[in-house]
Structures are given as structure tokens and as C-alpha cells.
Amino acid sequence: MSNSALPLVISAPEPRTLDLIFTARQLARLKAHYRIVETTADGVAKLPADVLAEARYIIGQPPISPETLERMKALRCVFNVETNLINNMPYETLFARGIHVVTTGLVFAEPVAELGLAMALNLARDIVDADLAFRQGQELWGGDGNQTARLLSGADVGIIGFGDLGRALNRLLSGFRTRTKVFDPWLPPSILIDNGVEPASLDEVLSTSDFIFVVASVTSENQGFLGAEAFAGMRKGAAFILLSRAGVVDFPA
């Protein structure tokens, strides 16, 4: 089969690259079975008309206007490799045409959840600071070295967002018998209850939790929704662990 007869893929995976997404072996397989047209996110709309018309798949989450989408008659799927569903393409039109939009969230869920658990344990027991003090010959023992130590086991935990990452984190926390409340305005309470967590408002999660895990994806609507008011409402001494995108936090506030 000639290269021109292969299904066409537009690759615009910013901020990632194909070399980061695929192993060398898998990338070679991809290129052997598909014709890859590489461009930038902003360059997709500027591609030749025949390329847009033939494109079957897009790797990335580039801006796609309704006019550009209208020219993409063969498009079947957009592979979002950043996991954030940015409001930069006409999703309703995509879905109406039977075009899938998929993300890599499930792939990242367990590794990031384990990282979050490690962060929580570190904050609970000052592991990093204790290690640094030991290396500098300034370690403290007994009560002196554990004045701020606390248990994750049985703690009040809040999770903001309950997608793939939130559920993976909840599975890990189940071994610590935490009392977990979840705020996710997109999910019905029944789904949260089925997963063994308590549905709660954002204010309740912030004000009653010893450990707060933020795992909500950033969207055009929720950027910076955790600001000064949210932090002021947190329980004194609570640990705030941001595992999703920085865009959900208003850092200047």
C-alpha cells in the first residue's frame, strides 16, 4: 500500500510531542499504518483543503472552528492528549456527527493518584523535612520530631472532582479508612454513594477536611474557581494537594 493510500492523521499534540506520547516501537507502528501530517495547534486550520478533507484522526486538542470542522468530512476521532477539554472546538457538532473525542485521563489516573497519596503521607509525617534534617545532622527524636505529625488513617478527606483520577485516588484511600466527601457538580449523588463517598458541597469539602485533593480538570468555565475565599474557608492546618491543573487555582489571590 502506498503512503498516500494510508489513513491520514493530523498530529498537533502540543504541549506534548509524538516522541513523548509513544515509545519508539509504537511510533514506528503508527507511521507504518497511517500517514502523519505534523503541524502546530494553530496550523491545523491552515492545512491544505485536501489534507483536511482526508483527515481521519487528530492527535492533540487544537482549536477547531465550525468552518474548519465542516471541511473535515472524514474525521472520526480527536485524541486529546492533554486531558483538559478546552472550549476550543464545537463539541456538540462533533458528537452530532458521530465523531469521538477521547482523552488520556484513564492512563494517568493511577500513577497520579499514587503521587497524591505520597504527597499526603509526606505532609502528614513531614517525611521530606525529616530526611533533610537527618542529612544535615539536625534530626529530632520522639515528641520533638513529631509535633505536627498526624494520621491519614481515619482522617477527614475531601476530593474536588471525581473523574478517573478521583476514583483512582478513592480506591487508594479506602485502605486508610478515610471519611471521604466529594464535590463534583457534574455527577449525580448516586454515583458518589455507589463509590463509597459522601456527596458534599464545595464549601463543606473545604471546611471539614484535613486533606483536600483537587483532581478536577480545568475547563473554560472553572479556571481559578479556587481563590482567596476558598482558602479562607478551609479547616485550620488542612493539607491542600493539587493533582490536576494549576488553572483551577487563582494563585495571585
Which residues pair with residue 108 across a beta bridge? none
- Give residue-wise pLDDT tens across range 63-72: 999 999 999 9
Q: Are 150 and 126 in contact (CB under 8 A)?
A: no
Same fold across 3-103 and 106-248: yes
Residue 226 is classified by DSSP as B
What band does 1 get if pLDDT is binned at 50, 70 and 90?
A: low
pLDDT mean across residues, the chain? 93
**pLDDT of amino acid 2:** 62
What band does 19 get if pLDDT is binned at 50, 70 and 90?
A: very high
Quick check: 214 pLDDT over 80?
Answer: yes
Residue 185, Cα to own-chain centre: how many angstroms?
17
CATH-assigned architecture of domain 3-103: 3-Layer(aba) Sandwich (3.40)
Q: Who has greater pLDDT, 246 or 180?
A: 180
Q: CATH fold of 106-248, please?
A: Rossmann fold (3.40.50)
Quick check: 173 pLDDT over 80?
Answer: yes
Question: What is d(CA 127, CA 175) in angstroms, rounded to the nearest whole number?
Answer: 20
Looking from the CA of 217 toward its CB, the CA atoms found within 13 Å total 20
The arithmetic mean of pLDDT across residues 160-182, rounded, is 97
What band does 144 get if pLDDT is binned at 50, 70 and 90?
A: confident
Extents of the domains making up the chain: 3-103, 106-248
